[in-house]
């Protein structure tokens, strides 16, 4: 394969390769009294020390060995994110097994596919998911995890087992989210995970006892890698549901966070919604301070000084606005917020950084045990996902595909030899299936999935990401999907910000069926409007507002990239309907199928 450019991350000093088991037990030995885990119980935070965590892992691992678990046997974990998930995780790993992760939002057919494909005969789950499992597996409930006993397995047998595991042994099979097809099981070794934890901690380190929040799906590589990294530095993982996120953040004041862009977008939308209901003075003050933050963020990303006048404005804005926002979010001592799994709007990255909330973007794959790129704190560049992390090298193929080589790259796909061969070039580069380019500083610019690039019937190529990003800059737009592959022109499906839409309807006395308004607790912990009456979206006044938004966006693009028609959707995209993945990535093929008739309407001549 011909390559246009290669960029290498800085050197990563590694004394020796080690397993996750060695990492875990060395931390337990060195920091036994430090809290390893925090969790909510009876309305208050409770903590488990590293010593107690180690004891629980050891007892459960001995129980698994007593059941007859052999090295490399697969054990599935099918549950929401909770601290018992990680007790089961390390118990399986130290017993020499392979952890198979199963998203808790998958349906029975998808769950059975993963269990059958991986040949997992033991499953750790929760009571609420137990009925979703086939009858031919042994089911153990995480709620009862403290009741399992190691029986006759001795400490010596257990230690011999965990020490027998090698760095190149498979630690986990993680199935791809299937945004473009059938899920495949990526085989990730102990060293894949350990290497990435070392690399990431060299950029955004934790220190012993520092708190961070664990709430994203542990079945996905992103949150699980962060947990492993936290263990490597004896940090304290505080577990909560997404709905408890805000309360947890205010309580523990984390030093680091990992998020998906949707959370930052929701936080921003929540701030704007509250501001819009405030006095005209409060509105002016907020929007002035936001503009100051964006300007500060832009200068910061370019490595420039603020200068006297901008520094003075930022000082005022911080006293009057930013400090209150940080306090409300519990981010008074935050050192980094890592955003990954999808693209973050540039303006939001500038704004949060300018407000003293250092948001950095990263990029990675299931196949690379989470990140392969990460923006450095203080030298972030919105619109990029940063340079390759230490120890990783990347290339751009002649057709624009991003290629990766490094110790974080998977061993291959579980029992899929043909797919594994297709995933690598002859000289060992992992084909990501994504398009990108490097800027002058070696920062990677993500340009989208190769399969998601739109080719119009005129032969013109259109990248949907920049158009969607421009639409999302408007607070009245919650989500957008750009369409046009094989079509004569570009169209869009737009999910409005329903809460703001209803406010407009009430102000203008627009009639609609209020009984069709549906709410749900969102990722910010607040009640979000997730559906409205179709009639509201068909109102001429509402359509006029969104037509103006689309026209403003069109003015920033070439003629073939402009949106000719759009439709407003009455419901938010959901994980339950399969329209987004558990990490909030849009599953385009599912969305296109669901709204097939609506899309056909936009292409009728």
> Domain coordinates of the chain in residue numbers?
20-165+216-240, 262-332+335-450, 453-603
pLDDT on residue 584: 72
Is the pLDDT reported for residue 361 higher than 60? Answer: yes
- Residue pair 60/88 in contact (Cβ under 8 Å)? The answer is yes
Position 583 confidence tier, pLDDT thresholds 50, 70, 90: low
pLDDT on residue 604: 87
CA distance 564 to 555: 12
pLDDT on residue 86: 98
Is the pLDDT reported for residue 523 higher than 60? Answer: no
Q: Are strands 454-455 and 256-259 parallel, antiparallel or unpaired?
A: unpaired
Is the pLDDT reported for residue 180 higher than 60? Answer: no
- Whether 20-165+216-240 and 453-603 share one fold: the answer is no
Name the average pLDDT for the chain: 93
CA distance 125 to 83: 13
CA distance 303 to 280: 35
- Summarised one tens digit per residue, pLDDT across range 43-55 is 999 999 999 999 9
Position 165 confidence tier, pLDDT thresholds 50, 70, 90: very high
Q: Which residue has the higher pLDDT, 295 or 176?
A: 295
Is the pLDDT reported for residue 67 higher than 90? Answer: yes
Share of the chain above pLDDT 90, in %: 78
For tokens 């509250």, the residue is: 274
CA distance 399 to 397: 5
Residue 397 backbone dihedrals phi, psi, to 5 degrees = -70, 170
CA 354 to chain CA centroid, nearest Å: 23
Position 342 confidence tier, pLDDT thresholds 50, 70, 90: confident
Is the pLDDT reported for residue 376 higher than 70? Answer: yes
Is the pLDDT reported for residue 378 higher than 90? Answer: no
Position 105 confidence tier, pLDDT thresholds 50, 70, 90: confident
Element (H, E) at 124: strand 122-125
- Residue pair 109/184 in contact (Cβ under 8 Å)? The answer is no
pLDDT on residue 600: 93
Q: Does domain 20-165+216-240 have CATH number 3.40.50.12780?
A: yes
- Residue pair 223/258 in contact (Cβ under 8 Å)? The answer is yes
Position 471 confidence tier, pLDDT thresholds 50, 70, 90: very high
What is 262-332+335-450's CATH number, 3.30.450.20, 3.30.470.30, 3.40.50.2000, 3.40.50.12780? 3.40.50.12780
Is the pLDDT reported for residue 526 higher than 70? Answer: no
Is the pLDDT reported for residue 389 higher than 90? Answer: yes
Position 520 confidence tier, pLDDT thresholds 50, 70, 90: confident
- Summarised one tens digit per residue, pLDDT across range 429-459 is 999 999 999 999 999 999 887 777 898 988 8
CA distance 424 to 433: 11
- Summarised one tens digit per residue, pLDDT across range 226-276 is 999 999 999 999 999 988 999 999 999 999 999 888 788 888 888 888 898
Residue range 453-603 forms a domain whose CATH class is: alpha beta
Give me the mean pLDDT over the 106-131 stretch: 93
Residue 419 backbone dihedrals phi, psi, to 5 degrees = -65, -35
How far apart, in Å, are the Cα atoms of 311 and each of 84, 314, 316?
47, 5, 9
The upper half-sphere exposure of residue 327, i.e. CA atoms within 13 Å in the direction of its Cβ, equals: 7
What 3 state SS string does 235-288 have? CEEEECCHHHHHHHHHHHCCCEEEECHHHHHHHHHHHHHHHHCCCHHHHHHHHH
Is the pLDDT reported for residue 527 higher than 80? Answer: no
Question: Which letter does DSSP use for residue 62 in this model?
Answer: H
Enter the tokens of residue 157: 């047998």
pLDDT on residue 260: 83
How far apart, in Å, are the Cα atoms of 123 and each of 55, 75, 178, 266?
21, 6, 22, 34
């Amino acid at each position: 394969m011909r390559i246009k450019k290669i960029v290498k991350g800085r050197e990563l000093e590694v004394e020796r390769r080690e397993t996750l088991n060695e990492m875990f037990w060395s931390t337990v030995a060195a920091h036994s009294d430090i809290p390893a885990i925090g969790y909510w119980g009876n309305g208050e935070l409770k903590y488990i020390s590293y010593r107690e965590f180690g004891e629980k892992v050891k007892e459960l691992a001995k129980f698994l060995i007593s059941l007859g678990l052999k090295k490399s046997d697969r054990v599935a974990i099918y549950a929401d994110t909770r601290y018992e998930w990680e007790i089961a995780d390390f118990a399986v790993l130290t017993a020499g097994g392979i952890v198979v992760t199963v998203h808790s939002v998958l349906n029975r057919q998808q769950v059975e596919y993963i269990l059958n494909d991986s040949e997992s005969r033991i499953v750790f789950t929760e009571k609420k998911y137990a009925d979703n499992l086939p009858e031919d597996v042994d089911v153990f409930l995480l709620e009862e995890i403290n009741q399992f006993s190691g029986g006759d397995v001795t400490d010596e047998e257990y230690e011999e087992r965990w020490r027998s595991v090698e760095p190149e042994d498979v630690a986990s099979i993680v199935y791809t989210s299937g945004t473009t097809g059938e899920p495949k099981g990526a085989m990730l070794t102990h060293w894949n995970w350990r290497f990435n934890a070392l690399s990431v901690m060299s950029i955004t380190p934790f220190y012993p006892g520092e708190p961070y929040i664990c709430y994203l799906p542990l079945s996905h590589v992103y949150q699980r890698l962060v947990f492993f990294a936290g263990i490597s530095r004896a940090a304290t993982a505080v577990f909560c549901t997404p709905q408890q996120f805000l309360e947890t953040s205010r309580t523990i004041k984390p030093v680091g966070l990992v998020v998906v862009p949707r959370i930052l977008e929701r936080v921003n939308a929540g701030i704007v919604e509250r501001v819009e209901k405030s006095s005209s003075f409060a509105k002016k003050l907020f929007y002035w301070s936001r503009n100051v933050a964006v300007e500060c963020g832009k200068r910061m990303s370019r490595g420039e000084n603020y200068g006297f006048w901008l520094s003075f404005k930022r000082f005022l804005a911080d006293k009057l606005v930013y400090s209150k926002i940080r306090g409300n979010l519990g981010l008074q001592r935050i050192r980094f917020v890592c955003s990954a799994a999808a693209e973050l709007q540039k303006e939001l990255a500038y704004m949060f950084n300018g407000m003293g909330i250092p948001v950095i973007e990263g990029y990675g794959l299931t196949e690379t045990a989470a990140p392969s790129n990460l923006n450095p704190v203080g030298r972030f560049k919105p619109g990029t996902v940063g340079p390759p992390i230490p120890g990783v090298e990347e290339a751009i193929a002649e057709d624009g595909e991003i290629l990766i080589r490094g110790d974080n790259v998977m061993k291959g796909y579980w029992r899929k030899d043909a797919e594994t061969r297709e995933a690598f070039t002859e000289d060992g580069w992992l084909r990501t299936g994504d398009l990108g380019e490097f800027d002058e500083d070696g920062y990677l610019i993500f340009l989208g999935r190769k399969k998601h690039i739109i080719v119009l019937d005129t032969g013109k190529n259109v990248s949907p990401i920049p158009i969607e990003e421009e639409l999302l800059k408007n607070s009245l737009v919650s989500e957008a999907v750009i369409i046009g592959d094989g079509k004569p022109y570009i169209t869009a499906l737009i999910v409005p910000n329903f809460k703001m839409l209803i406010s407009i309807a009430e102000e203008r006395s627009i009639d609609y069926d209020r009984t069709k308004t549906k709410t749900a607790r969102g990722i910010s912990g607040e009640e979000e409007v997730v559906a409205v009456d179709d009639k509201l979206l068909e109102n001429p006044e509402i359509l006029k507002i969104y037509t103006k938004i689309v026209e403003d966006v069109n003015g920033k693009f070439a003629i073939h990239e402009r949106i000719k028609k759009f439709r407003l959707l009455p419901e938010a995209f959901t994980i339950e309907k399969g329209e987004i993945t558990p990490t909030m990535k849009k599953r385009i093929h599912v969305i296109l199928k669901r709204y097939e008739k609506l899309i056909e309407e936009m292409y009728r001549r």
